[in-house]
Amino acid sequence: MYLYLDVVENFACEMCGTCCRNDWMITVDEESYYRNARWFKERGCSEEFSQALLPLSKRGFGEYAYIAKQSDGSCWFLDPTNLCRLHREAGHDQLDAVCKTFPRYPMNTSRGVELTLSFSCPAVLKKMTRVEPLAIVRSEHLPWQETQRDYAAEAFPDQRSRYHPLHYYYELESHFFDIIQCRAMVMDERLDFLAASVNKVLQIPKDDFFGRSLRCMMEENYLLMDEKTCLRQTKYCTPEILIEHFLANFIFKKPFYNYGLQKTIELLLLMWQEIEEARKKAVTFTDDMGITGKIIMNMEFQYNHNRRQLLESFHNGREK
């Protein structure tokens, strides 16, 4: 089974080169490092290889070396026409997993493979500029042919005790996804409602009735949401809708599973506060959509791609 957000369908890289110029370290695993070493050696280019792929002094899981930058900060292999020299000369298979995958975000879960996109790519942001709420697609096929996957998150709720909220993770994720997309409330209200719901979940006694109590709470929430009248309809995507897509996409990336309910709601509230503060600070509001898009791209970059530093300092470990 494959589950993915509908925006993943028909995604096509626009070769703008933004991701090849980002201020991040592109790491490669040991296999990719030696595969490239052989390829460069066969062409008598070992010297370029030793400049382009630099072994890491501290190696993490799947991280053996990193790709050097050009003097302007872009990837070593990016050419002036925004194309990847390694891709052109050596072929797609020669690329490391990150370059093959980005901006796709594959997750390994007990339901199968789940997939979404990263908002730090301008082509993704363009796809997200739509009025319709994001939808989760279930399919027997992935809308992406790549076989090599570098999973960015995981979820195996069955491994949790049935007295633990994360045992019911998929139901919770779907419920939280619905709350964040409930347009009968403004975003402030949705986040307050989400925070109150997380609080209620954490208060449920851990006994044999845990699952039933959790479902009752969710049903009550749906009744409350149904009673609300829909706020104004719009034909065009607004900054508020773009923020909604960003937060819904964030929820689908399994932070509630990987970092815990309380920590994730705190992070969501912090992100919302930062988005609002950054929007207020923007002197010209004539292009609110463009400004909001830039803020979101930057936030995705910080909280997702640099998550090792930022999330670790924020969370300081998972909840038990």
Residues that bind ligand SF4 (CB under 6 A): 13-19, 102-103, 121-123
Residue 315 CB, shortest distance to ligand SF4, in Å, is: 27
Task: CB nearer to ligand SF4: give 2 or 102.
Answer: 102
Number of H helices and number of E strands within the chain? 14, 8
Inter-residue contact 203 to 213 (CB < 8 Å): no
- Kindly calculate the radius of gyration of the chain based on its CA atoms and give it in whole angstroms: 21
C-alpha span between 55 and 65 (Å, rounded) = 4
Task: CB nearer to ligand SF4: give 150 or 178.
Answer: 150
Task: CB nearer to ligand SF4: give 14 or 220.
Answer: 14
C-alpha span between 77 and 85 (Å, rounded) = 5
Task: CB nearer to ligand SF4: give 122 or 211.
Answer: 122
Task: CB nearer to ligand SF4: give 66 or 259.
Answer: 66
First to last CA, the chain: 29
C-alpha span between 88 and 108 (Å, rounded) = 30
Other C-beta atoms closer than 10 Å to the C-beta of 38 total 11
> What is the greatest pairwise CA distance in the chain?
71
Residue 294 CB, shortest distance to ligand SF4, in Å, is: 14
C-alpha span between 60 and 49 (Å, rounded) = 21
Residue 102 CB, shortest distance to ligand SF4, in Å, is: 6
Residue 196 CB, shortest distance to ligand SF4, in Å, is: 37
Residue 295 CB, shortest distance to ligand SF4, in Å, is: 17
Task: CB nearer to ligand SF4: give 64 or 105.
Answer: 105
Residue 17 CB, shortest distance to ligand SF4, in Å, is: 5
Nearest to 163 by CA among 108, 209, 94, 104: 209
C-alpha span between 149 and 131 (Å, rounded) = 31
